[in-house]
């Protein structure tokens, strides 16, 4: 009995030891070996001496300061007094203070959702925020657990769903052209301006207000002067609000005459084209939203503003081509949009939801999420994931983060 109990005790201890060992090994492999980083297709070599990449508590990939930045072609500097890392390339300077959830790009302070840190005496930077500041396309490949950073290709299409809380703001870049669809709410001008500067945008070809609500045109008048768009696109439906009047006054002062593209009209942007697909004539502001289908090679995107079921039905009835790989869900994921018929017509692989954390509308509504899940549509959401970037080479679409779903 006694010997048996002792053997039993020994066995238990051995099992416990084995469990502990496997836990330690698992933890080690997650922190040390699991994430690969490549720059323009070439894997970055890490060593235990220089530090290994890891995923921090905010879910962001952190990399040791020198290895990645130098492989991307940056000159790297460290200021011990201010505890700030600085990287420089092509005249762009990015400063990253340790422990602060912000970076500075050519003097513009940009909030980020995690902080650079020092671990075991080594400096780590959140790779996505820092490399995107240099205009890099940073792609997360969940299948291979790798972060791939690329110098942008001249032909690539970039679509940025900028995190502006409970509002919309989308930046589209193709070639030398840039278009802004919506401009956040009234207090988002600084955020958007910083984002555009951080991505090397100094002027816009088009500024679009999908409709006259403040969470779409809120900061548009503040941006017109700074980014001097050649054209301002607005729907025909007008509003009496102060923010709308201010927009028209500011546009008038800059000799910008708002233009309403008609159904089926094509708008060229760099090497892509957008087609207007809202066929509804209405004074209901949400349903008046300018809707665009963008096609680049074999890839396509549909932008919907706050269009609801009525505008969706009108687009289908008018015979608009709607089939798209990516759908910016109408009205922040509200149940009043994304009708089954519309989702059937678009059949997206991906959906993007632009909404604010804990917003009072309950966006995205659970019914919408349910519809996406049952149709097998992967989705991204700015309230949980911050700004979302999609990059298309005309054949495939790459994302800077894994879907939320
Ligand atoms: Zn809205």
Query: What values do phi and psi take at 84, rounded to 5?
Result: -130, 130
Question: Residue 355 C-alpha to ligand 1 middle, in angstroms?
Answer: 9
CA pair distance 308, 306, nearest whole angstrom? 6
Question: Residue 277 C-alpha to ligand 1 middle, in angstroms?
Answer: 18
Question: Residue 108 C-alpha to ligand 1 middle, in angstroms?
Answer: 27
Q: Nearest CA to 68 among 83, 97, 89?
A: 89
Question: Residue 182 C-alpha to ligand 1 middle, in angstroms?
Answer: 10
3 state SS of 7: helix
Question: Residue 283 C-alpha to ligand 1 middle, in angstroms?
Answer: 16
Question: Residue 311 C-alpha to ligand 1 middle, in angstroms?
Answer: 15
Q: Could you tell me the mean pLDDT of each successive run of 10 residues in the chain, 405 residues long?
A: 44 49 38 73 87 88 89 93 94 93 87 89 89 84 85 85 97 95 97 86 96 98 96 97 98 97 97 96 97 97 98 98 98 97 98 97 97 97 93 90 85
Q: pTM for this one?
A: 0.82
CA distances from 15 to 10, 11, 280, 360 (A): 9, 6, 68, 51
CB within 5 A of ion ligand 1: which residues? Answer: 215, 306
Question: Residue 167 C-alpha to ligand 1 middle, in angstroms?
Answer: 6
Question: Residue 175 C-alpha to ligand 1 middle, in angstroms?
Answer: 29
Question: Residue 284 C-alpha to ligand 1 middle, in angstroms?
Answer: 13
Structural domains in the chain, sorted by start:
36-150 (3.30.457.10), 157-399 (3.60.15.10)
* Angle separating helix axes 220-227 and 189-198, nearest 10 degrees: 30
CA-based radius of gyration for the chain? 24
Work out the angle at residue 216's Cα, subtended by the Cα atoms of residues 238 and 225, and round it to the nearest 5 degrees. 90
Q: Nearest CA to 301 among 390, 405, 381, 196?
A: 390
Question: Residue 217 C-alpha to ligand 1 middle, in angstroms?
Answer: 9
Question: Residue 361 C-alpha to ligand 1 middle, in angstroms?
Answer: 11
Question: Residue 216 C-alpha to ligand 1 middle, in angstroms?
Answer: 6
pLDDT score at 32: 40
CA distances from 302 to 150, 163, 325 (A): 25, 18, 8
Question: Under a CB-based contact definition with an 8 Å cutoff, are residues 168 and 147 in contact?
Answer: no
pLDDT score at 3: 42
């Amino acid at each position: 009995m006694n010997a048996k109990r002792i053997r039993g005790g020994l066995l238990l201890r051995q099992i416990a030891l084995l469990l502990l060992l496997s836990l330690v090994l698992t933890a080690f492999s997650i922190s040390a070996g699991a994430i690969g980083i490549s720059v323009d297709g070439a894997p970055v070599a890490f060593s235990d001496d220089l530090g290994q990449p890891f995923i921090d508590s905010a879910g962001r990939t952190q990399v040791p300061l020198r290895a990645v930045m130098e492989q991307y072609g940056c000159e790297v500097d460290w200021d011990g007094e201010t505890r700030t890392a600085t990287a420089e390339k092509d005249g762009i300077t990015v400063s990253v203070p340790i422990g602060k959830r912000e970076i500075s790009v050519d003097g513009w302070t940009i909030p980020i959702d995690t902080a650079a840190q020092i671990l075991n005496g080594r400096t780590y930077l959140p790779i996505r925020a820092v490399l995107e500041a240099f205009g890099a396309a940073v792609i997360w490949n969940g299948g291979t657990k790798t972060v791939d950073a690329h110098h942008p290709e001249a032909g690539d299409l970039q679509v940025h769903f900028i995190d502006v809380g409970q509002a919309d703001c989308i930046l589209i870049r193709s070639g030398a052209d840039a278009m802004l669809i919506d401009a956040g709410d009234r207090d988002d001008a600084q955020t958007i301006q910083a984002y555009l500067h951080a991505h090397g945008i100094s002027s816009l070809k088009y500024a679009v207000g999908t409709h006259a609500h403040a969470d779409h045109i809120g900061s548009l008048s503040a941006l017109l002067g700074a980014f001097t768009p050649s054209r301002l696109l607005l729907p025909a439906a007008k509003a009496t609000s102060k923010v709308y009047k201010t927009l028209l006054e500011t546009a008038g002062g800059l000799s910008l005459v708002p233009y309403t593209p008609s159904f089926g009209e094509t708008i060229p942007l760099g090497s892509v084209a957008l087609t207007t697909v809202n066929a509804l004539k209405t004074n209901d502001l949400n349903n008046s939203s300018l809707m665009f289908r963008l096609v680049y090679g074999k890839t396509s995107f549909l932008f919907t503003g706050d269009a609801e079921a009525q505008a969706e039905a009108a687009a289908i009835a008018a015979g608009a081509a709607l089939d798209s790989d990516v759908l910016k869900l109408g009205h922040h994921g509200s149940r009043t949009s994304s009708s089954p018929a519309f989702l059937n017509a678009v059949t997206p692989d991906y959906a993007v939801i632009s909404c604010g954390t804990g917003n009072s509308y309950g966006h995205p509504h659970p019914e919408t999420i349910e519809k996406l899940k049952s149709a097998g549509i992967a989705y991204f959401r700015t309230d949980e994931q911050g700004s979302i970037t999609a990059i298309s080479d005309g054949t495939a679409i790459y994302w800077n983060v894994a879907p939320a779903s």
